[in-house]
Structure 1
Amino acid sequence: MYPTKWQTAIMATLRERGRCTITDLASELDVSDETIRRHVRALVEEGRLLRVHGAVALPLGQTEPPFSLRLKERTEAKRLIGRQAAAQVQDGQTVMIDGGSTTTFVAEALLERKELSVVTNSLEIARILLGRQGHRVFLAGGEFRADIGAAVGTEALSFIEQFRADLAILSIGAVSAEDGLMDFDLAEARIAQAMIGACRRTIVVADAAKLGATARVRVCGFDEIDAIVSDAQIPPPMRPCIKSAALQWMVAGTWPAAGPAETAMTDAAD
């Protein structure tokens, strides 16, 4: 079931503040305590919130910093990853890019390419590329969320599903040997799944902090994507999964950024 607008607002507030009392949430969102209690009750029953010491909070492993903060974290690693991912794109291609701090650095690197058609749900990615280098930008509508800087929901999904693209470049919340590619938010995961289904090839960008981590929502298995670009080598527990999926693992910054015909990658069998 899709969340109500108040449930979405409650979740966004908790991502920013960690935990809140009912009174705090009611004051922040300018609604009655009873309205907050009703929506919180449903979120608790679904397992999306926990009651803790007179307040409510997101479960452990289900939170990540707001988008504006994530843009300032591990910036050099994300810039290198962005350059390596962008090197796999050819002029004139149609590319889907989901919202995320690392994919924002991919967008910056795509200013080295020309005449791309870019489908995205991210306001920041659209802003970077719009009107530059002959790029055309197709921006998904729907519910724009400040905590992720992107649109999600049925309207965004319907928009994305109208397109067919050469390549998807996706951010991710966690990369787990047991569960594959994961994210913290169901709505974001659905956007990623729609883009995977609409593209001939999929690259996931993930800095070292995401490797071996876990998140709440499974996006897909390793065999559903084509490559991962990271600033780190494959963690040993993940090597059998990567080898079995015949997945390219590109280590950004280890070699000069390779073009599409000469992808720099590690050997998963090593």
Structure 2
Amino acid sequence: ESGFLRKVRGGASIQPSGLFESDFRYRQKQAGEEKQRLAAAAVAMVEPGQTVIIDDGSTAGGIARHLADLRPLTVISNNLAVIQDLAGVGGITLIALGGQYSKKFHGFFGLLAEDTLRSLRADVAFLSSSAIHGVSAFHQDQEVVHTKRLMMAAAARKYLLVDHGKFGRTALHFLTDLKAFDAVFTGRELETQMREVLDAAGVSLTLVEKD
């Protein structure tokens, strides 16, 4: 399908690499059950009346469908899927970050989004990352990294949602150390050795069981 293939020598690949991230629609379907688990668990960090930031990631974006029971809320996002899910929902004040639309990331980026984020403050931010190497988060796109960092700076509390398959991967641009997050949510499937590395580094890890 359109947007799912990445050209490589001798063919094409739908797999991400350190330089290229997969299309948003493809990523939504990968580790779908685990991503839903993470979103359902992480939403417990939200209380009615708060302001919530949700980034462009397909994992963090799953938070949106769980917010109705926590209204009233203010939600800030550059994620078009989140914006579409919450537009017109009673009790949700939606602040859609402007900017240039990226089909690949299904979100908005650039100066308009960045300037808006600098002028806002939130109680909590939910972010995703495409790669976890060691005890740090990475992403392939520098503009996405810049936007995520501004979201983190705007929020009092920050949570990272990453499926266990992202651990041990690498990407071009450093986002932040995992200790910058109040908690990192991932699936119980994460390898024991990796858990021990994260624990030793002081990373607050929340392992989410299968239903």
Please say if 1:144 is aligned against 2:101: yes
Following superposition, which runs of at least 4 residues in structure 1 exceed 4 angstroms of deviation? none
State the percentage of identical aligned residues. Answer: 25
Q: Do the aligned partners of residues 238 and 214 (structure 1) sit closer, same or farther apart at CA in structure 2, a change above 3 Å counting?
A: farther
Whichever of the two has the greater Rg, that structure is 1
AA of the residue aligned to 1:140: L
Please say if 1:127 is aligned against 2:84: yes
Question: Which ranges in structure 2 are unaligned for 5 or more consecutive residues?
Answer: 11-15
1:93 aligns with one of 40, 50, 60: 50
Q: Is the 8 A contact 1:207 1:232 kept in 2?
A: no
> What's 2:117 paired with?
160
1:62-93, Cα deviation, whole Å (9 max, x unpaired)? 22220011112221111111101111111111
TM-score of the two chains, using structure 1 as the length reference:
0.69
Q: How many residues are aligned here?
A: 205
User: How does 1:54-133 map onto structure 2 within 5 Å?
Assistant: 60-133=17-90
Question: Which ranges in structure 1 are unaligned for 5 or more consecutive residues?
Answer: 1-12, 21-51, 54-58, 256-270
- Between the aligned partners of 1:85 and 1:135, the Cα distance in structure 2 is 18
1:140-174, Cα deviation, whole Å (9 max, x unpaired)? 11111111100111211111111111111001111
1:192 aligns with one of 140, 148, 151: 148
User: How does 1:16-31 map onto structure 2 within 5 Å?
Assistant: 16-19=4-7
Q: Do the aligned partners of residues 163 and 243 (structure 1) sit closer, same or farther apart at CA in structure 2, a change above 3 Å counting?
A: farther
Give the drift of 1:253. Answer: 3.0
Q: Do the aligned partners of residues 88 and 217 (structure 1) sit closer, same or farther apart at CA in structure 2, a change above 3 Å counting?
A: same
- Between the aligned partners of 1:176 and 1:81, the Cα distance in structure 2 is 20
Please say if 1:213 is aligned against 2:172: no
Q: Is the 8 A contact 1:181 1:221 kept in 2?
A: yes
Cα RMSD for the two superposed structures: 2.3
Q: Which has the higher strand share?
A: 2
- Between the aligned partners of 1:254 and 1:227, the Cα distance in structure 2 is 19
Give the drift of 1:119. Answer: 0.9
AA of the residue aligned to 2:66: A
AA of the residue aligned to 1:220: T
> What's 2:126 paired with?
169
Give the match's secondary structure for 1:87: helix
Give the match's secondary structure for 1:203: strand
- Between the aligned partners of 1:175 and 1:242, the Cα distance in structure 2 is 15
Give the drift of 1:207. Answer: 0.4
2:179 aligns with one of 217, 223, 239: 223
TM-score of the two chains, using structure 2 as the length reference:
0.88
Higher relative contact order (CA 8 A, sep 6+): 2
Give the match's secondary structure for 1:215: coil
Give the match's secondary structure for 2:45: coil
Moved more, 82-91 or 63-72: 63-72
